[in-house]
Structure 1
Amino acid sequence: MPLEEHVLAGVERIAVLGVGLIGGSLALALRRAGYSGRIAGYSRRTAESERALALGVVDEAAATPAEAVAGADLVVLGVPPGAMPALMAQIAPTCAGQAVVTDVGSVKAAVVAAGEAQFGGRFIGAHPIAGKERHGVAAAEAGLFRHSRCVITPTATSDPRALDLVRALWAAAGCEVLEMPPAVHDEALAVTSHLPHLLAFALMEQFAAHPRSKELSRLTGGGFRDFSRIASSDPALWADIALQNREALLQAVQIYQQTLERFAEQLRQGDQAALAAGFARAKRARDAVLATHSCSKTGSKHDG
């Protein structure tokens, strides 16, 4: 559908608070889709806001969040989940009564509760499942969301107009849009995203503590690099995500520990058949996941 016939055609000003990889890529994706309104950006670090302006990611680099959202029809929050409530409270007095507010965070239940407390049904939670280990607006790219999925998390209080607008926003960016309750999202992402990041960080912390880590670095192959790649992600952001989704992540960790202990016991017993059977089940599971995503992008674009 041409953007001029799109629900976004009535949006004259978009404010992106936190113009980093995701927020910046969204702005670029909208431009590529034909959005002709004004995009205002704000980042806590002034240099990042100025870089976004210099790169043409935004039309204006706001000095404050209130300045960015003034007159905006749509506000996108791109800060870590733990910083969302304070930012919401800060901009609430300035957001126009009809402005739709959404976010891009990897944790939804707490963020949606805070958003609805400030903006009522005008807040719609969203999580584009796309990313890469590089961060900051310099890493933003217009095609980041193509063939990716975005989960939006409406509730019983969501305004239908706001829901339509946020759905249209991510469709225009190139996403397949899915809907699910916030808590269901958090339980799922604990397994598919937050646990893998935790494991990659744990592996590299163990590797760094090894007395021969420098020597071992010369012996790492593709498997090690593939498994550990997301340990290059923003540490502060992922510590925040882990804590914001603590209960679901702890449950996922507990189940993983049980699986790892089962493998450890099979190693102790020298039970090759049991190990091979477990590895085979794992291979079949991964093959099924790859088949599901056969038409999607692979590698760094699905870090979510």
Structure 2
Amino acid sequence: MTDGLTGRYAGVRAAVVGTGLIGGSVLLRLADAGLDVAGWDPDPATRELARARGLAAPATIEQAVAGRDVVFLCGPLPTLAGTLAQLATMTAPGCVLTDVGGTKSEVAQVADQLGLTDRFVPGHPMAGAESPGLSAASAALLAGAAWVLCPAPGPATDAFRWLTGLLVELFEARVVPLSASAHDSAAALASHVPHLLAGALAGAAQRASLRETVLALAAGSFRDGTRVASTPAKQVANMLLGNQARVLAELTEVQEFLDGLAAALRAGDPAALTARYEEARAARSTLLDRRFTGRDQQFPADGEHTAEVTWLRGLGEAGGHLTGCQVGADTVSYSASLPLAD
């Protein structure tokens, strides 16, 4: 990744509120790039750990966010609305705000109610690790990650453009533009339901009469299938409850597919089992070997931006992502990648 920022991002002053695994990783990368960045966490021990790692960690949130150009909200999901309301009064009107929460609809609605849609861009980097907290954070954790941003028409589009460029330049992010509702629907199956399935598999092993034997025999399939069961339980509960309706809807779809597998197994039907697994294998193969084609698009720099946002959201819903954003005097130019048809 680029060591530092140039051009319109040189001299950016940033803050990170909530310095756990994701927030801490954002903080470390910002610091590595040479930005003037401060991190704040409500836990004094976490702030001390940040200082021990050579990071600026003021005692108060007010000190951390004062005079900043961008603030990343990285605390637990249930705290985001309250923290956003705090930041509305603590930061200047030109300060861009974004979050990294696993659900987007609720925080987007809160931002609208607070009158912050001109500078708050809902976000969600799709990355993680088995261990939680700042001690497990890494400046490289988010490198090249798919990073959802939710663009909105009007003045909010300017903040989206600015943040997209920052994330691409600093994190080499694949920025996926989506509406908040589309993100929550897709994330339910891509991220949230897998936590339920991992929890179910690991929980069944925990309760098994041959628990020790099961764990002794556990190989790659069990380890891969249960990896996210290491996520702190409260964090998972917050995520699932924050997207409850969509998670339950997608879980129903997964259950129907699983029921089909079980029915074929009960019937001793090798053809039906094979067909189901070929269908599943196709999705896995596509995930591991996705191919993309480039696409450039331009829009007027000024105006109400409805056509621009419609194109952006359509790009994300088609499985595409942004690889660049340049704003000129009259036009904004996007570089994008779209997946090739199978």
Q: Does 1:140 align with 2:137?
A: yes
User: Could you tell me whether the CA contact under 8 Å between 1:266 and 1:272 is conserved in 2?
Assistant: yes
Matches within 5 A, 1:15-164: 15-32=15-32, 34-36=33-35, 38-56=36-54, 58-59=55-56, 61-118=57-114, 119-164=116-161
Q: 1:113-153 CA distances to partner (integer Å, 9 max, x unpaired)?
A: 21233323110011111111111111111211222211101
Taking a change above 3 Å as real, the CA distance of residues 54 and 2 of structure 1, as seen in their structure-2 partners, is: closer
Gaps of 5+ in 2: 293-342
CA distance in 2, matches of 1:4, 1:84: 28
Q: Paired residue for 2:230?
A: 232
Equivalent residue letter for 2:144: H
CA distance in 2, matches of 1:259, 1:17: 41
Count of residue correspondences: 289
The Cα RMSD (Å) is 1.9
Taking a change above 3 Å as real, the CA distance of residues 158 and 117 of structure 1, as seen in their structure-2 partners, is: farther
Q: Which structure shows the bigger proportion of residues in strand conformation?
A: 2
CA distance in 1, matches of 2:256, 2:209: 28
SS at match of 1:101: strand
User: Could you tell me whether the CA contact under 8 Å between 1:116 and 1:122 is conserved in 2?
Assistant: no
Taking a change above 3 Å as real, the CA distance of residues 248 and 232 of structure 1, as seen in their structure-2 partners, is: same
Which range moves more in the overlay, 111-120 or 256-265? Answer: 111-120
Gaps of 5+ in 1: 295-304
CA distance in 2, matches of 1:23, 1:93: 22
How many Å apart are 1:3 and its aligned residue? 4.9
User: Could you tell me whether the CA contact under 8 Å between 2:125 and 2:148 is conserved in 1?
Assistant: yes
TM-score (normalised: structure 2): 0.80
User: Could you tell me whether the CA contact under 8 Å between 1:15 and 1:76 is conserved in 2?
Assistant: yes
Taking a change above 3 Å as real, the CA distance of residues 271 and 25 of structure 1, as seen in their structure-2 partners, is: same
Taking a change above 3 Å as real, the CA distance of residues 189 and 280 of structure 1, as seen in their structure-2 partners, is: same
Taking a change above 3 Å as real, the CA distance of residues 157 and 214 of structure 1, as seen in their structure-2 partners, is: farther
SS at match of 2:16: strand
How many Å apart are 1:94 and its aligned residue? 1.3
What fraction of aligned residue pairs are identical, expressed as a percent?
35
How many Å apart are 1:4 and its aligned residue? 4.8
Q: Paired residue for 1:8?
A: 9
How many Å apart are 1:248 and its aligned residue? 1.0
User: Could you tell me whether the CA contact under 8 Å between 1:124 and 1:162 is conserved in 2?
Assistant: yes
How many Å apart are 1:267 and its aligned residue? 1.5
Taking a change above 3 Å as real, the CA distance of residues 158 and 2 of structure 1, as seen in their structure-2 partners, is: farther
SS at match of 1:16: strand
CA distance in 1, matches of 2:271, 2:5: 61
Q: Paired residue for 1:265?
A: 263
How many Å apart are 1:165 and its aligned residue? 2.5
How many Å apart are 1:66 and its aligned residue? 2.5
Which range moves more in the overlay, 112-121 or 182-191? Answer: 112-121
Equivalent residue letter for 2:70: L
Matches within 5 A, 1:193-208: 193-208=191-206
How many Å apart are 1:252 and its aligned residue? 0.5
Q: Which structure shows the bigger proportion of residues in helix conformation?
A: 1
Taking a change above 3 Å as real, the CA distance of residues 42 and 273 of structure 1, as seen in their structure-2 partners, is: same
